[in-house]
């Protein structure tokens, strides 16, 4: 069963959205695997706008994210990005959404929020 939602990241004591600028399938694979939700299936630019959700009230803190091709050992926090908290060319409508293959053999599969093992990253569904 697939899992889809807007990507939000817990960092420095608060939630941050991730901008869709320059987002790739490699980035999607990294975050899906890191959250224990299998491989990445798709990424969804302008997630809130495309799904008719209100613009996120969570500030965008990560822009121009670029993850290396080694997705099996990757971590969102090892990916390069523009200076943190300063996305000058990104607004609240540019949040990235991801679709993951889903956790294997996980009966407590993502319903509203999917915590990751290290409790620092989440995919939120609205």
Of residues 17, 47, 40, the one with CA closest to residue 121: 17
Per-residue model confidence (pLDDT) at position 121? 43
Q: Are 94 and 106 in contact (CB under 8 A)?
A: no
| DSSP code of residue 34 | H
Per-residue model confidence (pLDDT) at position 104? 60
Instruction: Provide the token pair at 82.
Output: 């523009």
Per-residue model confidence (pLDDT) at position 54? 59
CATH number at residue 44: 3.10.250.10
Per-residue model confidence (pLDDT) at position 56? 59
Residue 111 has pLDDT above 80, yes or no: no
According to the per-residue pLDDT averaged within each range, which of 8-17, 63-72, 105-114 is highest? 8-17
Per-residue model confidence (pLDDT) at position 88? 64
Q: Are 46 and 18 in contact (CB under 8 A)?
A: no
Its domain, for residue 49, covers: 3-124
Three-class secondary structure of residue 57 per DSSP? coil
Residue 121: strand pairing partners? 9
Q: Are 43 and 4 in contact (CB under 8 A)?
A: no
Instruction: Provide the token pair at 20.
Output: 């869709």
Residue 118 has pLDDT above 50, yes or no: no
Q: How many domains does the chain divide into?
A: 1
* This prediction's pTM: 0.75
């Amino acid at each position: 069963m697939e899992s889809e939602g807007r990507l939000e990241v817990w960092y420095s004591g608060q939630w941050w959205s991730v901008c869709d600028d320059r987002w790739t399938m490699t980035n999607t694979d990294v975050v899906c695997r890191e959250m224990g939700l299998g491989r990445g299936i798709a990424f969804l630019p302008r997630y809130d706008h495309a799904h008719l959700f209100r613009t996120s009230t969570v500030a965008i803190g990560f822009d121009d994210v670029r993850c290396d091709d080694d997705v099996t050992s990757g971590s969102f926090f090892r990916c390069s990005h523009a200076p943190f908290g300063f996305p000058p060319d990104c607004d609240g409508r540019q949040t990235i959404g991801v679709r993951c293959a889903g956790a294997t053999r996980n009966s407590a599969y993502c319903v509203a929020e999917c915590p990751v093992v290290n409790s620092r990253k989440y995919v939120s569904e609205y």
